[in-house]
Amino acid sequence: EASFELCPSILAADFSCLARDVQAADAAGADAFHIDIMDGHFVPAISFGPGMVRTMRALTRKPLDVHLMVDRPLDLVAELAALGVERVSVHAEVPGGPGAALAAIRAAGMQGGLVLNPETPVETAGAYLPLISQLLLMTVQPGRGGQPYLPGSNARIAAAQALLQTAPHPVTIQVDGGITARTLPGAWAAGARSVVAGSAVFDGDIARNIAVLRRSVFP
Ligand code: DX5
Ligand code: ZN
């Protein structure tokens, strides 16, 4: 199971009991925590910012996987590095493109990820492969949790898997949105190895939910 990474998205946690929820997920075997930063411009919603990252760093030693849904990702890179973030993912669709932010993430010693919205061609990733360790395929429209997994996502994962054979180093495929015990096996079979799950982890019994997700891949 070494190649399977489960990343709970704290967007779906109970913010009034964040420490409780994060520690429950951590103890139940979460591999990393996914933090969705939204600026109200790149996506309509505003979620939280670096203050939440600081809080998370105090709550867990697991890697922090930050997903930037913001128009100006470069502005956040130095602060995230200073807070001890391991991995930062930037959307291909940002104004001016993701190249400068991805280069800064690498230069700051963090792992870079490129995010593709559902309608963005998988081939877009080709130009950025030298800068990234992760390719995050959105399997819903970004901006909120609890949406259904989009049909066609597994074909996109498989296409990305083929593209990544040409990468100069290993690049992990991450999926985000609509992941449940029903949709996860198909994503895994298509080649996703890092999986973000929000509502499927935090709605209800967190330890049980994580066990159910793992069992869907390793029965
Ligand atoms: C959506 C976020 C996701 C979200 C996933 O824009 O990027 O990380 O938290 O939530 P679920 O797993 O409930 O679809
Ligand atoms: Zn996300």
Looking at residue 56, its pLDDT comes to: 98
Please check the confidence at residue 34 and state whether its pLDDT lies above 80: yes
pTM of the model: 0.98
Whole-number Å distance, alpha carbon 9 to ligand 2 midpoint, is 7
145 lines ligand 1 (CB under 6 A): yes
- What's the whole-number mean pLDDT along residues 89-110? 98
- What's the whole-number mean pLDDT along residues 170-193? 98
Ordered strands of the 87-91 beta sheet: 5-8, 194-197, 172-176, 134-138, 111-116, 87-91, 64-69, 33-38
Q: Rounded to an integer, what distance in angstroms lies between the CA atom of residue 141 and that of residue 43?
A: 9
Query: Which residue is closest in CA terms to ligand 1's atom 10?
Result: 145
147 lines ligand 1 (CB under 6 A): yes
Looking at residue 1, its pLDDT comes to: 64
Nearest to 132 by CA among 113, 157, 104, 109: 113
Q: From residue 193, how far is each of 34, 47, 153, 175 by CA, in Å?
A: 15, 26, 14, 8
Q: Which residues participate in catalysis according to the annotation?
A: 36, 176
Q: Rounded to an integer, what distance in angstroms lies between the CA atom of residue 36 and that of residue 52?
A: 10
Beta pairing partners, 7: 196
Please check the confidence at residue 143 and state whether its pLDDT lies above 80: yes
Whole-number Å distance, alpha carbon 35 to ligand 2 midpoint, is 7
Query: Would you state the structure tokens that stand for residue 150, as one six-digit string?
Result: 């989009």
Q: Rounded to an integer, what distance in angstroms lies between the CA atom of residue 219 and that of residue 216?
A: 6
Instruction: Kindly indicate the confidence band of residue 191, based on its pLDDT and cuts at 50, 70 and 90.
Output: very high
Cβ contacts of 55 within 8 Å, gap of 6 or more:
18
Give 4-31 pLDDT, tens digit per residue: 999 999 999 999 999 999 999 999 999 9
Cβ contacts of 31 within 8 Å, gap of 6 or more:
4, 5, 6, 7, 62, 63
Please check the confidence at residue 172 and state whether its pLDDT lies above 90: yes
Q: Rounded to an integer, what distance in angstroms lies between the CA atom of residue 103 and that of residue 85?
A: 16
Mean pLDDT (the chain) is 98
| Assembly ipTM | 0.99
Q: Are 5 and 195 a contacting pair, CB within 8 Å? A: yes
Q: Are 116 and 134 a contacting pair, CB within 8 Å? A: no
Mind listing the domains of the chain with CATH numbers?
Answer: 5-217 (3.20.20.70)
